[in-house]
Amino acid sequence: DDDEDEDNDDIVMLERKIRTSSMPEQAHKVCVKEIKRLKKMPQSMPEYALTRNYLELMVELPWNKSTTDRLDIRAARILLDNDHYAMEKLKKRVLEYLAVRQLKNNLKGPILCFVGPPGVGKTSVGRSVAKTLGREFHRIALGGVCDQSDIRGHRRTYVGSMPGRIINGLKTVGVNNPVFLLDEVDKLGKSLQGDPAAALLEVLDPEQNHNFTDHYLNVAFDLSQVLFIATANTTATIPPALLDRMEIIQVPGYTQEEKIEIAHRHLIPKQLEQHGLTPQQIQIPQVTTLDIITRYTREAGVRSLDRKFGAICRAVAVKVAEGQHKEAKLDHSDVAEGEGCREHILEDAKPESISDTPDLALPPEMPILIDFHALKDILGPPMYEMEVSERLSQPGVAIGLAWTPLGGEIMFVEASRMDGEGQLTLTGQLGDVMKESAHLAISWLRSNAKKYHLTNASGSFDLLDNTDIHLHFPAGAVTKDGPSAGVTIVTCLASLFSGRLVRSDVAMTGEITLRGLVLPVGGIKDKVLAAHRAGLKRVIIPQRNEKDLEEIPGNVRQDLSFVTASCLDEVLNAAFDGGFTVNTRPGLLNSKL
């Protein structure tokens, strides 16, 4: 019978492959046993196909097939710098790994976890790590996976069982030391089928994963040479046991300067290429890029910035295509008159300047320069206005600094007082911590009212006597929380009760205590950059945050003067012109600056 001969040949081939394959002792035993069973089995049995699939998988797996790493550190550094701008911590970690690989050959793969806002390039860094090392790259998307057998495989007793994602990935890449990117670890689900995050614990533990047992294979496979990189947007939703296994590397959002660099090095060339344009046809100066970043996007990464460049390229592509179409119709003798054409298209702030105007029969002058008017025509009016520090024209207003995942922002705090029975009203969608800061600030000012000569409207030192205070944090729809507005609230209320104006060019951040100490806060780099963008000149930060100033770019540090404060006295002295002194009789104003 021909069919049977063919199948017998196949089985003989399988047997030969098993004999010559380099699998470990235990796996080899299992395979030999299975092939014996396969020979005795009639082919009509459903188990025949299953066993055969199993054996074929066992033969295909890369038991000890690996690629050699490229360990040239200098080349790696150049490659990473070309592919990614900024991201210093990340690149440093990759180079350290390379260096250790060079000194010690059988290093266990580290398990890194990149945490940061969307669009900052975590996944693409994973890809270029693989490229730098010269390894195979395999991405496993874990978003929404809610079944542990997705990772561990199904037992072979089930119909339609198959190996898990990890073993499947190894079979796909065909080597046992690839870079595995576990994308979106923070978005793993839980369901009745078990918890995949718990199944990942075994995969990601360097002490255990040298014999990872997939339910389908049922023999141990060595994962210790795989370099696992996980990505996440937040660590809050990752189970603590899993978080403990990984080395967390924070990937912060980009500053404005970094975004401009990234745009001109990577985004604009990429978009031009995708839209078939050349730099001879379109020019986007840095000023325009800055405009797009500040007024058309509000994000930590560069994704929507990329999309805006795409929109500009499409608008220009329409112009270019129309121009070529008209050029074909026109006689070339007419073209000389069209010199002033480009100015006409872009300088006119008329709404129809980038859309098709019937009277422009001539092709636009190349290159098309994208200036502010062109931006307005293509992308519409600006979506975001820069928060610029306005002059503080009345007592009871101070400028604070806030941190958001999209970077820092400046924030105004307003206070007013009216007659009443001593109530404190807080508005602006505040969290509990922030409300407590406000109560702290009031208590501290009331207990120090005599010292600073602060009085209520009727001249008594009891500030809340027959007086209501209302504190408001503008942008009423934005939820705000955290302790770092403490010093701002104190300054704002001190200004309200003393009737003096806070300096217009000062922003501040810091947590307060009841004794009047200033405690350190997080996000200093982003907050300082926000103050700089808004054009402020002086930033008051807690004394213990002085160490964080090293992360701030030099050009920003030169433009600002920093005041480090360890107690509220120092904050108030720095926030008011001529200091906020204990005695406010006019003759004795000593300016402690």
CATH code for position 258: 1.10.8.60
Output DSSP code: residue 1. Answer: -
Q: Is residue 580 part of a domain?
A: no
Q: What's the pLDDT at 386?
A: 66
Same-domain check for residues 441 and 564: yes
- 527 is a catalytic site residue: yes
- 44 is a catalytic site residue: no
Same-domain check for residues 380 and 391: no
Q: How many residues does the chain have?
A: 593
Rounded to an integer, what distance in angstroms lies between the CA atom of residue 11 and that of residue 337?
81
Same-domain check for residues 34 and 135: no
Same-domain check for residues 461 and 403: yes
Q: Is residue 82 part of a domain?
A: yes
- Which residue range(s) make up the domain with 288? 254-324+365-385
Q: What's the pLDDT at 390?
A: 67
Q: What is the residue-averaged pLDDT of the chain? A: 84
Q: Is residue 340 part of a domain?
A: no
Residue 248 has pLDDT above 90, yes or no: yes
State the CATH number of the domain containing residue 104. Answer: 3.40.50.300
Same-domain check for residues 246 and 270: no
For the chain, give the longest Cα–Cα distance: 118
Q: Is residue 460 part of a domain?
A: yes
Q: Which of 91, 308, 525, 527 is catalytic?
A: 527
Residue 349 has pLDDT above 50, yes or no: no
Q: 90-94, 266-270, 388-392, 546-550: which has the minimum mean pLDDT?
A: 388-392
Torsion angle (degrees, nearest 10) of CA 530, 389, 416, 396 = 90
Residue 202 has pLDDT above 80, yes or no: yes
Q: Which two tokens stand for residue 130?
A: 């693989």
Residue 40 has pLDDT above 80, yes or no: yes
Residue 35 has pLDDT above 90, yes or no: yes
Q: Which two tokens stand for residue 276?
A: 């078939």
Q: Is residue 19 part of a domain?
A: yes
Q: What's the pLDDT at 454?
A: 75
Same-domain check for residues 162 and 95: yes
- Interval 102-138: pLDDT, tens: 888 777 878 999 998 888 888 999 999 999 989 999 9
Rounded to an integer, what distance in angstroms lies between the CA atom of residue 478 and that of residue 434?
13
416-431 average pLDDT score: 83
Burial class (CB within 10 angstroms; exposed 0-12, middle 13-18, buried 19+) of 135: buried
Same-domain check for residues 188 and 139: yes
Rounded to an integer, what distance in angstroms lies between the CA atom of residue 461 and that of residue 450?
6
Same-domain check for residues 125 and 212: yes
Rounded to an integer, what distance in angstroms lies between the CA atom of residue 18 and that of residue 27?
10
465-494 average pLDDT score: 83
The count of structural domains within the chain is 4
338-344 average pLDDT score: 45
State the CATH number of the domain containing residue 532. Answer: 3.30.230.10
Q: Is residue 223 part of a domain?
A: yes
Name the pLDDT band for 143 (thresholds 50, 70, 90).
confident
Same-domain check for residues 244 and 264: no
Same-domain check for residues 53 and 78: no
Q: Which helix (H) or strand (E) holds 275?
A: none
Same-domain check for residues 176 and 53: no
Q: Which of 128, 149, 437, 484 is catalytic?
A: 484
Q: Is residue 147 part of a domain?
A: yes
Q: Is residue 14 part of a domain?
A: yes
264-273 average pLDDT score: 94
Same-domain check for residues 450 and 551: yes
Best CA proximity match to 178, nearest among 167, 163, 164, 162: 167
